[in-house]
Structure 1
Amino acid sequence: MQKSEYLSLLIVEDDHESNKNLQELFRDKFDDVVGVYNGTEGWEAFKSLRPNVIITDIQMPGMNGLDLVRNIRKIDQNCFVAVLTSYSDQQYLLQAVSLKLDSYILKPVTSLKLESLLKSIHSSRVHLLQHKVLISKDTYYDSKAKMVMYVDKRIHLTHVEITILELLLYYRGEVVLHETIENAFCDNTEKSRNAIKIIMSHLRKKIPDLTIRSIQKIGYTIP
């Protein structure tokens, strides 16, 4: 798997030998690999490290793997999550439909299963990056989901705000004319200069890292 971005992996597995083996297998595939031994440790490690990828067992003491994933999905929909399963775990997996699990690895783990997992991770990350437009280090716009993420927080925008933001991002570094903004709305509703000014003000307030510059009598631009 080629690494086109910084990739970190969190392994949550209560069997110490299996955990250590997985760490060794993945160490040359990721920039950072961390192993912990139960769901509670996994949750704390996730909040601290914010890994791109998580591999977790299901049945563990304390917080089980599905509860861990459930907590993660409340704040991160894009982290790749793979679960280690055995035949006895099938009853648990019926509860996991809404958790957006990206992959299942049936024990025992083999080299072929790991290779398949790496391909899935790479494909998922490439797909994510295609729709991820960085606004700043901590903020990005997801062009597929039509939403802005700031750290762990989803920023809700109106249809009009999304339309203007997409224009600014598409012509980043250039000036978007007032006329271009006015003509961008599907409903052909004319937007006055004052209305556009108000929308720009709302965008600045909603997205802390978004710098919108007004070019007097011409339009707007973002660096």
Structure 2
Amino acid sequence: MENENNYSILFIEDDIDIRQNYTNVLKKSFSNVYEAGNGLEAYELYLEKKPDIMIIDVDLPHMNGLDFLKKVRKNDLNTKAILLTSYSDKKTLLDASTLKLTDYLIKPVRRQDLKESLNNAIDELKNYKVISMRRFELNDNYYWSFLENEVYYVNKQINFTSKEKDLLALLFENAGNGKALTSYEEILYSLWDDYNEYTLSSLKTMMTNIRKKLPKNTIRNEYGIGYKIG
């Protein structure tokens, strides 16, 4: 594989020899490779590191791989998951099929098969993003609720003024619909029905206040054009 420095991997396997063998191989192509030996440790690492790709053994101590991935999928549909298992029974396959897998590999896994699965995961990361109809996930456990037009940190609501929420709703609606950038013109006519130096100054002041309440780089400025999420 070509070096994919921009992507990070969490490899979850309780057999230390298998885990070390594969992580050593993965480190040749990926700069950030994390490893865990059980489901609880894996979930803590997932929250801390936010990996792009997870390679998950089903048979894990403390919390098995399917339960771990179900926990992740409650709020995250975008991290790519490759499942490794010794089982090929229908129940395991059925449970796994609901978890938005990139691939499902039966152990022992050939390196070529894993390589192909990783290439598929990278292709998905480059070309697709899943947007929940209910919420838009941000960094540091913040999220935007489309149903309530509110920002939450974990389950605590972050206070914004009515106009600040109108601005956020516009930005997140556009981001959720695949529109990367929201122009100053669209924002000003939506919030103030006018585009002039006064409304533009008001927008910039409002954005300064909004950014103070959100994780760093949640909203980015395209100089002279507008704003985008992330």
Alignment equivalent of 1:151, drawn from 140, 157, 175: 140
Q: Give secondary structure in 2 for the equivalent of 1:105.
A: strand
Amino acid at match of 2:44: E
Q: Give secondary structure in 1 for the equivalent of 2:101.
A: coil
Correspondence 1:60-75 to 2 at 5 A:
60-75=60-75
In structure 1, the residue matched to 2:59 is 59
Deviation at 1:155, TM superposition (A): 1.2
Do 1:164 and 1:181's aligned partners in 2 also have CA atoms closer than 8 Å? no
In structure 2, the residue matched to 1:33 is 33
Do 2:57 and 2:83's aligned partners in 1 also have CA atoms closer than 8 Å? yes
Amino acid at match of 1:10: L
Amino acid at match of 1:155: W
Alignment equivalent of 2:181, drawn from 135, 146, 170: 170
CA gap of 1:6–1:89, structure 2 versus 1, over 3 A, is farther
CA displacement 1:87-140 (0-9 Å, x = unmatched): 345422322333222221121211320221121122022114xx69xxxxxxxx
- Quick one: distance in 2 between partners of 1:10 and 1:97? 20
CA gap of 1:68–1:203, structure 2 versus 1, over 3 A, is farther
RMSD: 4.2
Do 1:76 and 1:152's aligned partners in 2 also have CA atoms closer than 8 Å? no
1:119 aligns with 2:116: no
CA gap of 1:169–1:80, structure 2 versus 1, over 3 A, is closer
Correspondence 1:1-223 to 2 at 5 A:
1-3=1-3, 6-88=6-88, 90-128=90-128, 147=136, 149-156=138-145, 161=167, 162-163=169-170, 166=174, 170=181, 176-177=184-185, 182=189, 192-193=193-194, 205=210, 208=214, 210=219, 221-222=226-227
Q: Is the radius of gyration larger for structure 1 or structure 2?
A: 1
CA displacement 1:54-74 (0-9 Å, x = unmatched): 111111222000111112223
Q: Give secondary structure in 2 for the equivalent of 1:29.
A: coil
Do 1:13 and 1:60's aligned partners in 2 also have CA atoms closer than 8 Å? yes
- Quick one: distance in 2 between partners of 1:61 and 1:146? 31
Do 2:135 and 2:145's aligned partners in 1 also have CA atoms closer than 8 Å? no
Runs (5+) with no aligned partner, structure 2: 150-165
- Quick one: distance in 2 between partners of 1:117 and 1:75? 23
- Quick one: distance in 1 between partners of 2:145 and 2:27? 38
- Quick one: distance in 1 between partners of 2:116 and 2:171? 41
TM-score in terms of structure 2 length: 0.64
Amino acid at match of 1:92: T
Q: Give secondary structure in 2 for the equivalent of 1:47.
A: helix
Q: Give secondary structure in 2 for the equivalent of 1:6.
A: coil
Runs of 4+ with deviation above 6 angstroms: none
CA gap of 1:146–1:71, structure 2 versus 1, over 3 A, is closer
- Quick one: distance in 1 between partners of 2:137 and 2:69? 22
CA gap of 1:104–1:31, structure 2 versus 1, over 3 A, is same
Q: Matched residues, percent identical?
A: 24
Runs (5+) with no aligned partner, structure 1: 133-141, 213-218
Do 1:75 and 1:153's aligned partners in 2 also have CA atoms closer than 8 Å? no
CA gap of 1:10–1:177, structure 2 versus 1, over 3 A, is closer
CA gap of 1:61–1:123, structure 2 versus 1, over 3 A, is same
